[in-house]
Amino acid sequence: MSNNIRVGILGATGAVGQRFVELLQGHPWFTVTALAASERSAGKPYAEAATWRLDTPMPESVKGQVVQPCVPGLPCDLVFSGLDSSVAGPIENTFASAGYAVISNSKNHRMDQDVPLVIPEVNPDHTAIIPHQQKQRGFDRGFIATNPNCSTIGLTLALKPLADHFGLRTVMVTTMQALSGAGYPGVPSLEILDNVLPYIDDEEDKMERESLKLLGVCDGTGFKPASMAISAQCNRVHVQDGHMECVSVALEKRADTQDVIEVLRSFTALPQELDLPFAPRRPIIVRDEPDRPQPRFDRNVEQGMAVSVGRVRPCPVLDFKCVILSHNTIRGAAGAAILNAELLQAQGYLKRDR
């Protein structure tokens, strides 16, 4: 399919920005032609501006690229945004207004009534709101599309086939979220060593609101949220990468544990059908062992783009319960945005040669 779409990264020096740099190396369609961050970094070569914190080495091709300020004029067709949420809202709007496709990880526009919040396996049709957004905001060819919060992605991806087959009545979720989800330097070591923090700012609200938008309906001019009841409790734990979630679910239709497992295991969706480069072959991996998934062993399955589900069993209060694990900075952030961009390209929303 298409190649040579020039992409920029806003917030390229941050935790999510570095994942974008890493994951976009060798991408068959996208070439990184611009790196941008704050005034603190602008003007410096990337190798000097970014303190690289990933396990893989910094790619040679970006080391000498000079970091630009986050203002339109960047030599690219679309921008991925890993900007700090204190600044992302207006900067993303300015880029969309200047004609860029903005594919964002930040929370600022996720719940806007004219902005798609997308997981390509869950609600690829929600991108149909884009022409309405462009009309409403006076954007010519630019637009904003977002991916959900890292903990919402794992949950909602695993819930999607169950929503389709059985309907969802109630979802109760308790998370154990990795430290990398808080960016760098994140949580002070003396707060998290030998400890669990039972509070992550705004996280429970995000999980509850975003999952309803994702599983809801887009009519081309707005969104009708799904009607299930959902309650989230979010905790920070002493794990580097990989968000784990203990989930109990009540379904609309009766299903036994084997039915649930079968529906999860056989799930594929549009990204797999379109064979998008970042689509995992199997979006949901069901584990049969009693002690899996575990962050250290399972977060990188399918290059970090699949969700692992284990311990599927009856729940004495609701219908069944299980454990979900997903990589928070790959499937939950940069990888999610790249898959969104691939979907938008396949759907014809990306324009070249601005």
Q: Which is nearer to ligand NAP, 17 or 124 (CB)?
A: 17
Partners of 78 in the β-ladder: 7, 101
Residue of 109, 126, 243, 327 marked active site = 243
Q: Which of 2, 184, 217, 219 binds ligand NAP (CB under 6 A)?
A: 184
| Distance from C-alpha of 38 to C-alpha of 328, rounded to nearest angstrom | 24
Q: Which is nearer to ligand NAP, 11 or 304 (CB)?
A: 11
Which residues, at least 6 apart from 301, have a Cβ–Cβ distance to it below 8 Å? 285, 308
Q: Which is nearer to ligand NAP, 15 or 286 (CB)?
A: 15
Our answer to whether residue 238 is catalytic in this structure is: no
Q: Is the peptide bond between 293 and the residue preceding it cis, with omega within 30 degrees of 0?
A: yes
Binding piece for ligand NAP, criterion CB under 6 A, among 13-21, 208-216, 226-234, 278-286: 13-21
Minimum gap (Å) between residue 167 Cβ and ligand NAP: 29
- Which residue number has the CB closest to ligand NAP? 14
Cβ proximity of 94 and 77 under 8 Å: no
Q: Is 87 in the site for ligand NAP (CB under 6 A)?
A: yes
Partners of 101 in the β-ladder: 78, 143
Binding piece for ligand NAP, criterion CB under 6 A, among 11-19, 127-135, 268-276, 311-319: 11-19
DSSP state, 267?
A: -
Q: Which of 5, 7, 8, 14 binds ligand NAP (CB under 6 A)?
A: 14
Q: Is 345 in the site for ligand NAP (CB under 6 A)?
A: no
Q: Which of 21, 23, 32, 83 binds ligand NAP (CB under 6 A)?
A: 83
**Half-sphere exposure (CA, 13 Å, Cβ side) for 276?**
28
Judged by CB under 6 A, the chain residues 148 through 167 that form the site for ligand NAP are 150
| Distance from C-alpha of 249 to C-alpha of 113, rounded to nearest angstrom | 28
Residue of 70, 76, 150, 234 marked active site = 150
Judged by CB under 6 A, the chain residues 18 through 77 that form the site for ligand NAP are 37-38, 40-41, 70
Q: Is 272 in the site for ligand NAP (CB under 6 A)?
A: no
Cβ proximity of 279 and 303 under 8 Å: no
* Ramachandran category for residue 117: left, alpha or beta (phi over 0 → left; psi -120 to 50 → alpha): beta
Q: Is 85 in the site for ligand NAP (CB under 6 A)?
A: yes
Residue (of 135, 96, 161) closest to 309 by Cα position: 161
Q: Which of 7, 8, 13, 283 binds ligand NAP (CB under 6 A)?
A: 13
Q: Which of 180, 211, 248, 326 binds ligand NAP (CB under 6 A)?
A: 180
Q: Which two tokens stand for residue 19?
A: 């994942």
Please provide the DSSP assignment of 113-128 as one string: TTS-B--TTT-GGGGG
Q: Is 88 in the site for ligand NAP (CB under 6 A)?
A: yes
Q: Which of 5, 15, 207, 307 binds ligand NAP (CB under 6 A)?
A: 15
Q: What are the backbone dihedrals phi and psi of residue 265, each rounded to the nearest 5 degrees, phi first? A: -70, -35
**Half-sphere exposure (CA, 13 Å, Cβ side) for 125?**
11
Binding piece for ligand NAP, criterion CB under 6 A, among 109-117, 165-173, 180-188, 263-271: 180-188
Q: Which is nearer to ligand NAP, 123 or 146 (CB)?
A: 146
User: Which three-class secondary structure state does DSSP give residue 336?
Assistant: helix
| Distance from C-alpha of 199 to C-alpha of 51, rounded to nearest angstrom | 28
Q: Which two tokens stand for residue 335?
A: 């990888």
Q: Is 17 in the site for ligand NAP (CB under 6 A)?
A: yes
Cβ proximity of 19 and 336 under 8 Å: no
Q: Is 340 in the site for ligand NAP (CB under 6 A)?
A: no
Judged by CB under 6 A, the chain residues 101 through 130 that form the site for ligand NAP are 105-107
Our answer to whether residue 150 is catalytic in this structure is: yes
* Ramachandran category for residue 4: left, alpha or beta (phi over 0 → left; psi -120 to 50 → alpha): left
Q: Is 305 in the site for ligand NAP (CB under 6 A)?
A: no
Binding site for ligand NAP (CB under 6 A): 11-17, 37-38, 40-41, 70, 82-85, 87-88, 105-107, 150, 180-181, 183-184, 328-329, 332-333
Residues identified as active-site: 150, 243
